[in-house]
């Protein structure tokens, strides 16, 4: 039986940017509805079981209630839903533990409901299992906005082998950060700020920005990567990244959407291309490091910090490619007596 994992973060999109910007909020029942729509697509593609991360935010309650109602009415034929047997701590470790457990029991793909931070945690722990992101965070540069039903169809087609792996899966870059002997990754961007504290984690005050490293930056993006997108765009599939040096006193000023409804001015001191494998250093001797929009680590003058771009670091499900292949191959064409 083909199994697909679903990691739905009930507390994504609840950082301080909800207070200082005009970002929306996604209620728990809407998150459960997204999972339900995802499961309809998985079922139509032949997935037999969904393995889910347990949580205490309410997604499970709303989801199971909806599944029970739809089953009684005979409206849906869904995959079997099973929750992992693991403790719930309401921290990012839940997502990491769930990803490790799903990989260990052989799921063929993992769907992540969250923002850039949740996807980063899952990718770092899933051990090479391909992932697909559904955008439910604050800044969603990595997970693309798309109807969950379509994502479910595409993930199911990839998981069941109906779309070949060389078509279904797309290689991705990430940023590897070394702080002395510690290693961290980022999927979209690493920001260096002068503040020597982690505090509220999410970053939004641009006056302290000094360096920005990005795997990709698109003109239509939101968040830190929008700086690269509006200055020197680089695509997800491009073989390089960008290193942008920032200074509030720079002659070159750029308006960038740092968070939903929050557009701020940043000074551009310089920009360089990041080639895979080449190490780059921050332009300040001390400060803090933010990975995909959230401060994680501080460093001082005695620490050694370096950042490099790593090509083909992990795989994602290419939803448009899967759907295009399915259409060309007639995978959704059925005989009159077929129900799925």
Structure confidence by residue, pLDDT tens digits, 55-103:
999 999 999 999 888 888 777 789 999 999 999 999 999 999 999 999 9
* Residue-level pLDDT at 337: 66
Q: Answer whether 108's CB lies under 8 Å from 4's CB.
A: yes
Q: Which residue would you say has higher pLDDT here, 58 or 206?
A: 58
Alpha-carbon distance 309 to 175, whole Å? 5
* For residues 203-216, average pLDDT: 86
Structure confidence by residue, pLDDT tens digits, 24-64:
567 899 999 999 999 999 999 999 999 999 999 999 999 99
Residue 198's pLDDT band (cuts 50, 70, 90): low
The secondary element (H helix, E strand) that includes residue 154 is helix 148-159
Phi and psi at 94, nearest 5°, equal -60, -45
pTM: 0.90
Task: Quickly tell me which residue has 């959407």 as its tokens.
Answer: 257
* Residue-level pLDDT at 25: 61
* For residues 208-215, average pLDDT: 95
Alpha-carbon distance 31 to 305, whole Å? 38
* Residue-level pLDDT at 60: 94
């Amino acid at each position: 039986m083909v199994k697909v994992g679903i990691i739905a973060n009930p507390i994504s999109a609840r950082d301080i940017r909800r207070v200082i910007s005009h970002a929306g909020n996604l209620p728990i029942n809407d998150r459960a509805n997204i999972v339900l729509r995802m499961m309809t697509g998985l079922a139509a593609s032949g997935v037999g079981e969904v393995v889910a991360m347990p949580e205490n935010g309410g997604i499970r309650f709303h989801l199971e209630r909806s599944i029970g109602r739809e089953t009684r009415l005979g409206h849906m034929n869904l995959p079997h839903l099973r929750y992992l047997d693991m403790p719930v701590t309401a921290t990012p470790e839940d997502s990491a533990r769930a990803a490790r457990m799903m990989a260990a029991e052989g799921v063929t793909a993992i769907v992540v409901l969250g923002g850039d931070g949740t996807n980063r945690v899952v990718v770092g722990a899933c051990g090479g299992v391909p992932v697909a992101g559904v955008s439910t965070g604050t800044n969603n540069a990595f997970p693309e906005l798309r109807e969950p039903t379509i994502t479910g169809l595409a993930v199911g087609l990839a998981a069941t082998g109906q779309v070949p792996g060389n078509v279904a899966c797309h290689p991705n870059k990430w940023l590897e950060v070394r702080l002395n002997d510690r290693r961290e990754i980022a999927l979209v961007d690493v920001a260096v700020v002068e503040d020597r504290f982690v505090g509220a984690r999410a970053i939004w005050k641009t006056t302290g920005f000094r360096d920005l490293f990005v795997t990709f930056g698109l003109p239509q993006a939101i968040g830190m990567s929008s700086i690269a997108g509006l200055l020197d765009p680089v695509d997800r599939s491009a073989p390089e990244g960008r290193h942008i040096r920032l200074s509030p006193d720079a002659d070159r000023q750029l308006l960038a959407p740092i968070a939903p409804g929050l557009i701020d001015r940043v000074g551009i001191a310089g920009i360089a291309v990041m080639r895979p494998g080449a190490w780059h250093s921050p332009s300040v001797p001390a400060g803090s490091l933010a990975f995909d929009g959230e401060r994680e680590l501080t460093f001082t003058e005695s620490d050694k910090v370096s950042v490099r771009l790593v090509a083909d670091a992990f795989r994602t499900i290419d939803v448009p490619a899967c759907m295009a292949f399915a259409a060309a191959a007639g995978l959704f064409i059925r005989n009159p007596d077929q129900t799925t």
